[in-house]
A and B are shown apart, each in its own frame.
Chain A
Amino acid sequence: MQVAVELKHVSKSYRRFARLRQFKTLKGAAVRDLWRRPPIPDEDKFNVALKDVSLNVKPGVTSGIIGLNASGKSTLLRVIAGITKPTSGSVTANGKISTLLEIGAGFHPEISGRENVYINGAILGLSKSQIREQFDEIVAFAELEKFIDYPVKTYSSGMFMRLGFSVAVNVDPDILLIDEVLAVGDAVFAQKCYDKMYDYKRRGKTIIIVSHDLGAIRRLCDEVAWLHQGELMEYGDTTRVVSKYMQEVTESELARYAREHDESVESMASAGAKAVEQEPKLPYKAAAPSRPVEPAQRWGSREIEITAVVMRNEEGQERYVFNCGDTVFIEIAYVAHKRIEKPVFGIGIFRTDGTWCYGTNTMIDQLNLESADGEGRIVMRLDRLALLSASYYLDVAAHAENDHPYDYLNRLFTFAVRSDRPEMGVFRPDHKWILDV
Chain B
Amino acid sequence: MKDSIVSIYNHRALVQALVARELKARYRSSLLGFLWSFLNPLLLMAVYATVFTIFLRFGMPKYASFLLTGLLPWIWFASSINEATVSIVSGGNLIKKVMFPAEVLPLVSVLTNLVHYLLSLVILIPFLALNGAPEAKDVLGSAMGDVTASNPVWLVVSFVLLMLIQLIFTYGLALALSALTVHLRDIQHIVVNLMTLWFFASPIIYPVMQLSSKQVPQILKSLAIDYNPMAYLIIAHHKIFLCRIAPSFAELVVMLAASLVILFLGYLIFEKFRDSFAEEV
What residues of chain A have their CB less than 8 Å away from a CB belonging to chain B? 14-15, 18-20, 24-27, 78, 81-85, 97, 99, 101-102, 105-106, 108, 110-111, 115, 118-119, 121-125, 127-128, 151
Contact = CB atoms under 8 A, between A and B. Distances in A.
Interface in B229-281: 273, 275-276, 278-280
Interface stretch (B55-63, B70-78, B92-100, B196-204): B92-100
Contacts of B183: 18-20
B184 interface: yes
Contact of A123 (B20, B94, B278, B280): B94
Contacts of A124: 98
B186 A82 contact: no
Contacts of A84: 275, 278-279
A274 to B, nearest CB: 49
Interface of B: 13-14, 16-18, 20-21, 24-25, 28-29, 93-100, 183-186, 273, 275-276, 278-280
A102 B97 contact: yes
B275 A25 contact: no
B278 A83 contact: yes
A235 B280 CA distance: 31
Contact of A122 (B14, B25, B99): B14
Interface residue SS majority, chain B: helix
Nearest to B184: A20
Interface centre among B13, B95, B98, B186 (most CB of A within 10 A): B98
Nearest to A81: B99
A99 B28 contact: no
A108 B25 contact: yes
A234 B279 CA distance: 27
A337 B14 CA distance: 80
A27 B184 CA distance: 11
Given A84-B279, A119-B18, A119-B20, A151 B96 contact: no
B25 A110 contact: yes
Contacts of B280: 18-19
A323 to B, nearest CB: 37
Contacts of B279: 14-15, 84
B24 A111 contact: yes
Contact of A110 (B16, B29, B99, B184): B29
A26 B98 CA distance: 30
Contacts of B21: 106, 108, 111, 115, 119
A325 to B, nearest CB: 41
A25 B184 contact: yes
A102 B93 contact: yes
A104 B276 CA distance: 24
Nearest to B186: A26
B97 A127 contact: no
Contacts of A26: 184, 186
A220 B271 CA distance: 40
Contacts of B100: 83, 123
A115 B24 contact: yes
Contact of B273 (A19, A83, A125): A19
B53 to A, nearest CB: 37
B93 A99 contact: no
Given A19-B183, A78-B278, A108-B21, A128 B13 contact: yes
